[in-house]
Structure 1
Amino acid sequence: MTILVTGGAGFIGSNFVLDWLRGSDETVVNLDALTYAGNLRNLASLQGDARHVFVKGDICDRALVGSLLQTHQPRALLHFAAESHVDRSIHGPGDFMRTNVEGTFALLESVRPWWLALDSSAKEAFRFHHVSTDEVYGSLGMDDAAFHEAHPYQPNSPYSASKAASDHLVRAWHHTYGLPVLTTNCSNNYGPYHFPEKLIPLMIVNALAGKALPIYGDGLNVRDWLYVTDHCSAIREVLARGRVGEVYNVGGWNEKTNREIVETVCALLDELKPDPAGSYRRLITFVKDRPGHDRRYAIDARKLERELGWRPAETFETGIRKTVQWYLDHTDWVTEVQSGAYRDWVQANYGERAATA
């Protein structure tokens, strides 16, 4: 038995591959283009493991994907590959349209003829699992009910618009062609191997370097936070027992403001690696907000609990402590990913944002 994973060297994808192989001998064929956020160091522990077959390639390459399907005959395809950073999508939306929209379309069209040619039992057993985001639903007011699976799509950034488009493609290929799909829309993930452009790892890395901790606007934007291994366990449950054609929201039941997140990271670093210069809170800097910044996301994950019995194992308090400790224990990984290209990106995004307070 084999599964095919796209984007399995990225943050969530690599955590999923590692988690899968900790609990299963089923082979993982891992297709990743190794763009800036894809890192084979994440998978170093699998070197020499015959259960992990890595293939460097682009999901838009239909010939390659078709060849992998024919060769490995996977029982499922789990689609993690995506451009996923809102700020990057504002600076360069084209990459997001290509990977998230064209890439998903190419995958669906590669899978469709192969799946149609399978024998009846294999055809019935196959699943195309599309991993998406809560950002497709838009922004909530502070007193609004959390996002449920039937919430209208109202994407507000090039990133969320591209993911919304990919969700609609997956839905259409199910309803038009009968492709057996599953979709999960997750809240903000955090944990090991998170590329340090996102809020939590950026704050950890900057704090340890004595750099400013930039918070957009007033810092009161709210996100629901999900520890990445909890996300992996939810995907396993949906893949195993989810109803074909259904959408499942995956959340951590942890709504926090950005300011709370940064202050929590500072407090943990003050405890675990104190700075002689004083509390890391001294580095907090409020900067000009980004365009179209959604005010609040919140996930209603009761459908997943009701139908499949899933709830997250980690609280935010346990998950964030594990995350900070991981970065303290893996400074070599951080140093490696902070390439010149990464430094140029940080300067482009934050360098011209004057402090507002």
Structure 2
Amino acid sequence: MPRLLHASLRPNPGVLLVLGGSAAAGFGYRHWTNSKDASSSAAAAAESATLHPLRFAHYAIADRAPVSSTSTLFTLRARDGPATAQQDLRDIWARCVWSVEAKQPQLQIARAYTPLPPPTTTTDDEETDDGTTDASQLRFLIRRERAGEVSNYLHRLPPAAAVELRGPHVAFEIPDDVTEVLFLAGGTGIAPALQVARALQMRGGREASRMRILWANRRREDCVGGRSDDDAAQGSSGWGSWLGWGSAKKGRKEQDAGVPTATTTTTTGGEDGLVVREIDALKRRAGAAQQRLAVDYFVDEENTFIQPSHVARHLQEAGKSGEKSPGSRLILISGPDGFLDYWAGRKIWAEQGEVQGPLRGALSKMDLKGWRVWKL
């Protein structure tokens, strides 16, 4: 449920609310209610020439490219280009999973969306992000939700229309000593996964890190051309079945009967999808930096799902190689509520807002010695 931005009956501080896999995938909300103190109220409502965590800045839709029938890649450009060009976000990109809020001005609500990393080219063998890590231009993968007030509002806007953004809001700070990351992503939860991949690549001069992304989608149109790096990654039961999707039930029965299920990782022709191209570019860059980035694709309509066995196998393989590579290891999860609930249990509410809560779900039944789990 979106949070209102107008004044409440009593003063209440701003609280960052992160739901499900949201801060990174775009389901989180930030609730800001004005204080009775006139000066605080004016400060909260003030406009900012640059990106600011407490004040909205003016951006405009510079480009809008369809990814699928329900998802779009938005490019937003700051109205005050010279000012935002001086606002370097390099430190945020290199250290954090973060989001910004987009406002729906008619209803006075805001929703958090996770920026995609700056575009990567195949010739970008070194860390040369001058002019790309500032706040002058941000990109977002946004799914048009049936009952999503903010997502529907953004999709209805014409080219060059104004969009108000507030942030950045940090959802997770990546440890300096991280050497291994396993990221479970559902749908638009791929956005924070790509933030982490890019952050690891920006840490030049450190021990090479390894990252594997398991990305689940309901339809192939969201990941056209995506080919898994691990042929054994395709499974027959997974998070889709826990949301009640019919093809998952069929796959589970076939697996129980020992019948192998068909998998499809090829496309019907044409070029790869936009997000898949972003992923492949990051993979090429990782190879140039002598790092490892692998991505496995799972598609519900093709009856392939992330299974606990995929995670367990990765943990075992990482454990063997990790004996010679000290450092922290992370399991990050981002996606719809049902996805998060199955793998790690939902977050819980506390006085300070939404917090991690106890580890539940499939991951709680695994041997996670040496691994830290974080729900985004």
Shorter-chain TM range is: under 0.3
Higher helix fraction: Structure 1 or Structure 2? Answer: 1
Length-normalised TM-score, structure 2: 0.26
Q: Which has the higher relative contact order, 1 or 2, with Cα contacts under 8 A spaced 6 or more apart?
A: 2
TM-score (norm 1): 0.27
